[in-house]
Structure 1
């Protein structure tokens, strides 16, 4: 290690001794001129010796120039071409910085120029699959959630509010590189209210490098929003109206002003979604609380109304050519009111009958504030240092009122737990507050033309408190139920450091290697007594390696390895309790262990076709919705649990087909062998199975700026924990009209046009739990009753801006709040 640090310090001390010419092109107003051409010419014969293009901030740099006499020629579409006076470079004075250079706009320039380039819908890179959303005809009529549902290998489970990638949970979701540390239910609602019109691409990152936080054993999903390039005042507007079982509406707007040195930006989105879903279940179990063995029939209807507000704003300022600072604040307010109707019949052996009718009114509110500041300093060419500091505050409240009856066939109160065990009137409450502070420092240096080094440190401190319980109305007085009350305090500190190298051996061969070390201490205490129930320390190295070799212009081979971790979400660790029915409750699990994952991937690419094979090993993966004893052992607790391991051997391919100039197709497939061991039950087992996910799209372009798309996806049957999930999928269609003169677009789309979103679950089919449960559940999403139809209008206006927003140092904390 000492030798490595000594070599690194020598490398960091190396200074580029080659001659260099630099500067920055700006307009009269001081705005940058991006993507302009800069030519270095010999004064003797005006021969072009070297060239460069300006960056998004108007900067250019030409290196490795010999001593001599030169001049610069500057040109860009819409600007007057300019030649600068001759200058000299010598071995002593080998650097020339022109500073800001003004380019005059042409008086007779074109008012509007449209440049359109089509990208393939799917692209395979060394560590990720990229979905180019703009290449999807239906993107403007879809939400971000619908785009994810149609992405290869992504499974959105709205029953359990879960996200899986390539058959694995523990997936982190990022927006512009910033992880969304919010409850998954709220995350899905936010993505459902986010217009895909604002999305450039979605990255499915299966083997992230060391520069990314190690959290996310199942991989990362990064949603990249569109970034406009031109300076000035700009904005966009998108309006969506729709209907399924209930009304849908989304309105979003953005505005920004970019002068070249100051960037002000803000956005607001409101979404409203009235929905409906239902499920039915039948089976058997042995529950002492109702008197022993019983068969049951259960019917549920869930009617939520979600209203979400998302407001953000910020400023970036370039104090000098080398120093940039900025800050932003985001606020999200989400309210969900819901009605749940439950009916159940319990037949007790030999001939007793119990009838349950329940009505649950729920009201939940979630508020989230994120503040961030950053500073970036360019020390010299190819060398910079970046500082980030974030503070996150989450406040979640959930209240329920239960009105129910639980009677035997004679109309008497049922149950053996006393007169208050199944009170007709109950109320539940849950309060969770989470505070997170993050500080991060990163350093990057270009050691040479071929080698770059990056390093950094980060510290995170989290405090979380959770209070929940259920009360019963007995003789006009609310009385708490001690067996379902919880008061929990969690503190966690994480320190991390990483080092990575990237080397381009030659134009066809590259290697990136890195290592990240993270140390975490998690303490969980009873809020009433202050005694610790958990005091866990974990320190681990997380190496990564990426190799790419172009065999020729048509063929490329890629290999990668990474090690990851998924820490339990703060909500999963909380011992909250929420009412489900008289004998079962949802709760968390303070004893959850983190998941450690090793990923090994090989990929091969030929033109637009790609094939890859991924092997991964998860130790202690977390599965949701598992049945365990609770209370005094007679209540059914539905909670997350660790299983011992899971192995995955995954095959992935993407096949684009262009039939004609107006008809194109794309087919994707992700699937393979899965194996896991469940050992949290007394009757443990090992399960192996095959599963897959497939998707297709058919895109058509017609005269008159009309286009249409037919697409679909299907997830095969699979297993998780002690349950089997049947296959499910959907077919979608839509048509879009681009208005003339850049007046926007109008699009009509239909989701699940064949009404196939039915998911069937078989619980307890692999081994016996404490209640000998056998349950068969059939879930119907909203679109099963009526397809979801949406009409969308979207338009951009004004100039556009160059975004310079930094990735928050708190990115990996947000997704742990679920």
Structure 2
């Protein structure tokens, strides 16, 4: 009943926003928004106001040519207001509508953030901006995202969800490639999530959501690309920003950061530093019931996570002349997460408990990440021919140590048996890439893009387990392992685009040759046991997109792409990690890449209401599933093993609706809704598994401008029951209500934000899974309810001068790393 009520709230919010756009036919008011040189302002926010009191009548978004129109305008006196990112708001003179169509004189916007008599004028960015090829989220414009982490800011982005294991999905599909400033992180989903948990949201400027990337992007990522653009000050002179934040849930959290920039006509030098300290409580409840007998396990784990994160970035651009620029960047980060965990497992039958297993685990990791880039950008002639070259090197290292103590007792508390193990798991990943991109404008609004890329990756994981036998540590040959993986990818692409009268068309093809070699050496029976996997393959990845402008109010889009999702490097490592005596996790050296074909049809109404219908088919989808295992020492068959496997196939149908809607002059809303139908087929423990489910996700965000300096925000999201793509869990619903308030201080250079997350305490995972004669149910409680406060301050010169936005050559490799 409660789930249906929450779903109804989101559904009604979506329908209210959509239906508000339609009414009886009346005169049309149209016009154009431009800037200096008669250049159109793309996707400007345009509002129709009553001339008498400036109250809001309607809102719209200008198209790519800066044009807008309002339908069903009743007779009366009005004026038009328009604003765009980085520009000041402007108004037309008052005009009268008397029953016939009216064209308003062109409205010109001027650049914002200019100093007028010592008073700074700044334009506020919209939270969501719809671009021609992507959706852009301006993090600073969200009150509830401030003071939190980069992951929490990402979770608040439209169509993005993060599950209990840190797997990031977009439009309900996993396999998303995540970039930082155009560079892939090469991390597994779980470790990427851990890094984003430690990165302050104040260090993120924008989040770009690219559902169907063109051929110029790496083919990795079956669900599209998410690019987190970190802050980089772009002004002349010396300037910067400072941020400080604190939060409290079960435990306290702190973060802070500073951005500095110095720019003149020849040089731009920039740098940033961020720090965060975080403590978090996590509770895991697992119940296991065997169908063929009456055995029952009830497991409870409590984890108190503690982590320190430091990240710094420094770079410089040298402007050789107006057409040629050379730059260098260095991005460094380090962290020290610690996860002490206490666990209790009650074992017995449905009639009662006969023994208890108590475990204490201490996990400690010290990781470092460094990425280095040398780049060149050249404008070759006056027609716009452009050449970009990037050389990159990245090194990621991690030293993980784990101590596991387990003891079993009878129901009277008498000790039965004990076991103590320790492990050391150092790992190193080296990545080298080089790429070149060329843009060649053609006649009649056409453009040709082409490029080459080569990458070399080497990973080395050396895992050693010891078991305490009496007073001596004995090398554990069953669990120790050395895994070395080498990969070389050579790629070439060509992309063509052309703007016709009403039709924009783009088509491309990317070819990739991959050679990989993995070698796993274990030490069972005191002898090396080597698993060697050497293979190579060639793939073609076509892509196509077109947009047709039906009329002034409607446009249609159609896109198709074929993409690949390669397993992360650690997911192929076959060593087993034991949570306790009866729960383990392992990789799989025989994992294959998964391939996804996606097609999407999009309808846009007045560049305002966006609806899309998509279908995707994935072959050999990689997911972590539960299966029965065997204890290597005792031969017990009650082991619960988490293992990465290739699912036979997955099909998905999805419907997405997003509506930015001004409700009143002081109330702005953004509502999005995603419905999907999933079909999975696999073979687990020699049993065929077929799972179908319907589910939906919705988010509605409402911003209230209370005064010139004070605003408030309320956000609610809801995820319905469905089968998860990662793990194939039958999950129950979850949701969250977040509230926040923002105050401008210190002559509008300072911002103070206070917010409360998960007010109703409903954002936790519950799910069930049935396989190999076992029924497993899970509940995972994270420390999501918290109070946060954040302060940010901008200082220095405010004569704005745009800087380069650089994407380097590490896009496809960095996203497959496991790094905390």
Give the TM-score normalised by the residue count of structure 2: 0.81
Matching residue of 1:60: none
CA deviation vs aligned residue, 1:291-315 (integer Å, no higher than 9, x gap): x962111111010101001011111
Question: How far, CA to CA, are the matches of 2:736 and 2:350 in structure 1?
Answer: 41
Q: Which of residues 485, 491, 511 is equivalent to 1:517? A: 511
Matching residue of 1:584: 583
Offset, 1:626: 2.9
SS of 1:517's equivalent in the other structure is strand
Matching residue of 2:379: 378
- Could you tell me whether the CA contact under 8 Å between 1:604 and 1:610 is conserved in 2? yes
Question: How far, CA to CA, are the matches of 1:126 and 1:743 in structure 2?
Answer: 32
The answer on 1:803 being equivalent to 2:781 is no
- Could you tell me whether the CA contact under 8 Å between 2:215 and 2:543 is conserved in 1? yes
Question: How far, CA to CA, are the matches of 1:408 and 1:544 in structure 2?
Answer: 62
Q: Which of residues 367, 390, 393 is equivalent to 1:391? A: 393
Change (3 A) 1:557 1:355: same
SS of 1:357's equivalent in the other structure is strand
- Could you tell me whether the CA contact under 8 Å between 1:282 and 1:776 is conserved in 2? yes
The answer on 1:643 being equivalent to 2:627 is no
The answer on 1:789 being equivalent to 2:794 is no
- Could you tell me whether the CA contact under 8 Å between 1:150 and 1:712 is conserved in 2? no
Question: How far, CA to CA, are the matches of 2:706 and 2:215 in structure 1?
Answer: 46
The answer on 1:752 being equivalent to 2:758 is yes
Matching residue of 2:520: 526
Offset, 1:603: 0.6
The answer on 1:601 being equivalent to 2:600 is yes
Offset, 1:161: 2.2
- Could you tell me whether the CA contact under 8 Å between 1:302 and 1:340 is conserved in 2? yes
SS of 1:665's equivalent in the other structure is strand
Trace 1:86-165 onto structure 2 (pairs within 5 A).
110-116=117-123, 119=126, 121-125=127-131, 127-157=133-163, 159-165=164-170
Q: Which of residues 695, 700, 705 is equivalent to 1:701? A: 705
- Could you tell me whether the CA contact under 8 Å between 2:291 and 2:775 is conserved in 1? no
**Structure 1 stretch displaced more, 376-385 or 517-526:** 376-385
Change (3 A) 1:201 1:52: closer
Question: How far, CA to CA, are the matches of 1:673 and 1:185 in structure 2?
Answer: 25
- Could you tell me whether the CA contact under 8 Å between 1:601 and 1:615 is conserved in 2? yes
- Could you tell me whether the CA contact under 8 Å between 2:513 and 2:538 is conserved in 1? yes
- Could you tell me whether the CA contact under 8 Å between 1:227 and 1:802 is conserved in 2? no
SS of 2:567's equivalent in the other structure is coil
Question: How far, CA to CA, are the matches of 1:402 and 1:689 in structure 2?
Answer: 38
The answer on 1:424 being equivalent to 2:419 is yes
Question: How far, CA to CA, are the matches of 1:357 and 1:476 in structure 2?
Answer: 21
Question: How far, CA to CA, are the matches of 1:252 and 1:377 in structure 2?
Answer: 33
Change (3 A) 1:536 1:718: farther
Matching residue of 2:487: 492
CA deviation vs aligned residue, 1:637-668 (integer Å, no higher than 9, x gap): 31211101111110000123322111122211
- Could you tell me whether the CA contact under 8 Å between 1:469 and 1:485 is conserved in 2? yes
Change (3 A) 1:496 1:283: same
Matching residue of 1:276: 281
For structure 2, the 5+ residue unaligned runs are: 1-33, 42-86, 88-113, 523-527
Change (3 A) 1:722 1:353: farther
Offset, 1:112: 4.0
Question: How far, CA to CA, are the matches of 2:499 and 2:616 in structure 1?
Answer: 27
CA RMSD for the aligned pairs? Answer: 2.7
CA deviation vs aligned residue, 1:50-81 (integer Å, no higher than 9, x gap): 9999xxxxxxxxxxxxxxxxxxxxxxx9xxxx
Matching residue of 2:185: 180
Give the TM-score normalised by the residue count of structure 1: 0.81
Question: How far, CA to CA, are the matches of 1:329 and 1:227 in structure 2?
Answer: 13
Change (3 A) 1:325 1:36: farther
The answer on 1:237 being equivalent to 2:238 is no
Offset, 1:565: 0.5
Matching residue of 2:303: 302
Matching residue of 1:312: 313
SS of 1:299's equivalent in the other structure is strand
Offset, 1:613: 0.6
Matching residue of 2:356: 355
Matching residue of 1:727: 733
Question: How far, CA to CA, are the matches of 2:674 and 2:279 in structure 1?
Answer: 33
- Could you tell me whether the CA contact under 8 Å between 2:567 and 2:592 is conserved in 1? yes
- Could you tell me whether the CA contact under 8 Å between 1:358 and 1:403 is conserved in 2? yes
For structure 1, the 5+ residue unaligned runs are: 1-34, 39-49, 54-76, 78-106, 415-421
- Could you tell me whether the CA contact under 8 Å between 1:298 and 1:342 is conserved in 2? yes
Change (3 A) 1:52 1:568: closer
Question: How far, CA to CA, are the matches of 2:680 and 2:455 in structure 1?
Answer: 32
Change (3 A) 1:484 1:504: same
Change (3 A) 1:257 1:451: same
Offset, 1:530: 9.0
Offset, 1:279: 1.9
- Could you tell me whether the CA contact under 8 Å between 1:468 and 1:577 is conserved in 2? no
Change (3 A) 1:197 1:353: same
Which structure: larger Rg? Answer: 1
- Could you tell me whether the CA contact under 8 Å between 2:363 and 2:400 is conserved in 1? yes
Change (3 A) 1:471 1:179: same
Offset, 1:533: 2.5
Offset, 1:195: 4.1
The answer on 1:338 being equivalent to 2:344 is no
Trace 1:61-80 onto structure 2 (pairs within 5 A).
none
Question: How far, CA to CA, are the matches of 1:52 and 1:337 in structure 2?
Answer: 53
Matching residue of 2:617: 617
Matching residue of 2:217: 212
Matching residue of 1:817: 817
Q: Which of residues 443, 447, 451 is equivalent to 1:448? A: 443
Matching residue of 2:525: none
Matching residue of 1:777: 778
**Structure 1 stretch displaced more, 391-400 or 125-134:** 125-134
Question: How far, CA to CA, are the matches of 1:233 and 1:776 in structure 2?
Answer: 56
- Could you tell me whether the CA contact under 8 Å between 1:489 and 1:526 is conserved in 2? yes
Change (3 A) 1:586 1:644: same
- Could you tell me whether the CA contact under 8 Å between 2:203 and 2:274 is conserved in 1? no
Question: How far, CA to CA, are the matches of 1:735 and 1:674 in structure 2?
Answer: 38
Change (3 A) 1:734 1:350: closer
Q: Which of residues 454, 459, 463 is equivalent to 1:459? A: 454
Question: How far, CA to CA, are the matches of 2:353 and 2:793 in structure 1?
Answer: 64
Trace 1:625-774 onto structure 2 (pairs within 5 A).
625-629=625-629, 632=632, 634=637, 635-720=639-724, 721-764=727-770, 768-769=771-772, 772-774=773-775
Offset, 1:779: 1.4
Matching residue of 1:400: 402
Offset, 1:676: 1.1
